Amino acid sequence: QAAQRQMGVRSGDVTVTAPFAGVVSQLSAVPGDQVQAGATIAQLAATNGASGRQANVTLGVDPSAAASIRAGDTVVLHGLSTALAHAAPAGQVVVAGASIDPQSQLVNVGANVPLGGTAFIPGTRVSADIATQTGTWWVVPRSAVLQDAKGAYVFQVTPKHVAHRVDVAVRVESGDRYGVDGPLNASEPLVVTGNYELQDGMAVRSAGGARQ
């Protein structure tokens, strides 16, 4: 208790008041636990009437990606069940955690997503896309992007049916796709298989054998 008083911590019971109406979706601490600063001790799911500043969705994000997430980033939810397969409600990040959850080893991110009138209820398991950067890029399959000492590049097929190397810069990634910057030609096909064997200027044939 003396140590607590020295640190400015009061003894006895302390009532923590929720900042909004909702339900407790998860408790991460029990009496007697030592909790580090910034750690999540409880997760609340706001009711559908919550304002846009209150989180009603909690997402677990890999620590390597969490540093780039900011309040205001766009979030799109995807249901994991068959019934929710085609639902994609959108919202915004309202808070990003400051520590790694000891159980999940992920960083908790809170988002506000309007879910009124949807089948998403507290406890629903979801995945999500978070747009951490805004801009316009070429969207290409991950398999199309190669790396060497000069950096990232792709091959396109010219009208003369030869491979043309195009240097690119990877700006964003999502699943099996990259968003890249570079002088790509929208009218020329992109090589996505067999590109490891290509060199700039080589003749290109399609998988079916017809020359392209």
What's the pLDDT at 7? 56
Indicate the pTM of the whole model.
Answer: 0.51
pLDDT band at 212; cut points 50, 70, 90: very low
Confidence of residue 165 (pLDDT cuts 50, 70, 90): very high
User: What architecture does CATH give domain 2-131?
Assistant: Beta Barrel (2.40)
pLDDT greater at residue 192 or residue 33: 192
Decide which of 175 and 75 is more confident.
75
Every domain of the chain and the residues it spans: 2-131, 138-197
Confidence of residue 141 (pLDDT cuts 50, 70, 90): very high
Evaluate if residue 76 carries a pLDDT over 90. yes
The average confidence (pLDDT) of the chain is 83
Name the residue with higher pLDDT: 27 or 10: 27
Give the E-state strand segments of the chain in sequence order. Answer: 22-27, 42-46, 57-61, 74-79, 90-100, 107-112, 126-131, 138-141, 146-148, 151-157, 163-167, 169-174, 177-181
Task: Write the single-letter amino acid at 65.
Answer: A
Same fold, 2-131 and 138-197: no
pLDDT digits (tens, 9 = 90+) for 18-42: 776 777 777 778 888 887 777 777 7
- What CATH number matches the domain at 138-197, 2.40.50.140, 2.60.40.3880, 2.40.420.20, 3.90.1300.10? 2.40.420.20
**pLDDT score of 183 more than 80:** yes
Provide mean pLDDT across the span 177-189. 93
Q: What is the pLDDT of residues 55-65, one digit of tens each?
A: 788 899 988 88
* Distance set, CA 191 to CA 84, 86, 175 (Å): 34, 30, 19
